[in-house]
Structure 1
């Protein structure tokens, strides 16, 4: 085999143009499906960093073991992906709407010790996943939290109440996060769906925020920093 075949083989200018077109559409497809996957799947990486890893990884892999794919094709693919990446990041810096479209917005998912149900659904979090994230930051109940924000990279930022400001709130650990079977009139109860906290007249009372009817005994312990 001639050395020239390793780099060029039977590549034509028409095929190079086809590669560029294919790269463009595959790059768009990758961004689209990553955007649909939600923030959980790209934790610690931006959506563009992950798109670059997937795109370049695929482009670099095939020429390593397929002798009918010359290196020039992989070079064209990788160059096109990098150019697209630069163009998209430039567009994001110039236009905030493009940035929001591709990377989304930060979502406020806890406010004043209660869940913002609408934003939690937008972030594609289940309650179990959401509670796990909170527990990993030593949150015992929602009454400890003033504000919690789901960032665009999937990380969770929390602003805690001070010890004196801590409220009664929904417990997050399995031992306490369970539906109450007996009513104590002087006890605070928290809605297991949204975290609204109040005294109850009966355990089948409807939550005024979300209309759920499952209540757990509230906690009021301060956050340990």
Structure 2
């Protein structure tokens, strides 16, 4: 067999085996590498190159070595799941860098970080003043997470005592100009509804790169032609306006009638509807 053909075959086999072993190790290998997983990744890459190019040795020896490394890595992951001591030994523990608003210089030196490194990592979290940080920790994977002081945290509905209903998951109903029927069915919608909504905003299907529908039935589209401006959906605003109009009509009916019973009925309905408006306004105003 020609050497060039053998290298091609070895490389293809190595790629397939490496892909399978990587899938076996799981997504954690990609997102959050421990020290040992980092070593495993480098070693598997080196062995794969060896299997692909070194035609003077038996290729199956490299595959055996790859298999051993993967089995050892899986064994360590299982041990970490069952033992906290093993997790601390292999992955180490998080290191507190800022506590009670004070930078811990000794811990920075322990992790071989400079104050400039710390500020850079905080900027990546959109934090530009160290004085605004209450607590910061360096995770075992090297990422720095920070908690802002109360006065610098973003204002949320919970701070105002407002209960907000869960946001339903948006569904992609058009991808690359193709209608996705399954997401439409999940939202209990159909193609006729979608085509009607596209007509309302004056957009043709073949010009839609991506379209999503949120849990409230609002359609958001992104077009291939970036110069075309698409109007924002007004479903929520329209619904809120209709509810307010109903409340105003009830209040007007209560003022216009002379019958005490009818006046009380309209007044009670108006008050209850106003309470509903106060509850749904944070949602419909988004």
Q: TM-score, normalised by structure 2?
A: 0.40
CA contact (8 A) 1:43 1:154 kept: no
Highest relative contact order (Cα 8 Å, sep 6+), 1 or 2? 1
Residue segments in structure 1 that go unaligned for 5+ positions in a row: 7-41, 166-225
Partner of 2:93: 105
- Contact kept? 1:63, 1:74, Cα under 8 Å: yes
1:96 pairs, out of 84, 88, 110, with: 84
- Note closer, same or farther for the CA distance 1:143–1:65 as it changes in structure 2 (3 Å cut): same
Picking from 55, 73, 91, the partner of 1:67 is 55
Given that 2:119 and 2:128 are in contact with CA atoms closer than 8 Å, whether structure 1 keeps it comes out as no
Aligned residue number for residue 139 of structure 2: 151
Structure 1 segments, 4+ long, off by >6 Å, are none
1:87, CA displacement in angstroms? 1.4
2:73 aligned residue (64, 80, 85)? 85
Count of matched residue positions in the alignment of Structure 1 and Structure 2: 127
Distance 1:164 1:116 in 2: 21
Q: What is the aligned partner in structure 1 of residue 46 from structure 2?
A: 58
Equivalent position to 1:114, from 99, 102, 107 = 102
Q: 1:178-214 CA distances to partner (integer Å, 9 max, x unpaired)?
A: xxxxxxxxxxxxxxxxxxxxxxxxxxxxxxxxxxxxx
Matching of residue 47 in structure 1 with residue 35 in structure 2: yes
Q: Any conservation in 1 of the 2:139–2:145 contact (CA below 8 Å)?
A: yes
CA distance in 1 between partners of 2:100 and 2:147 (Å):
10
Deviation at 1:95, TM superposition (A): 2.2
CA RMSD in angstroms, aligned pairs only: 2.6
Report what 1:191 is aligned to: none
Deviates more, 1:122-131 or 1:153-162: 122-131
The structure that is helix-richer by fraction is 2
Deviation at 1:164, TM superposition (A): 7.0
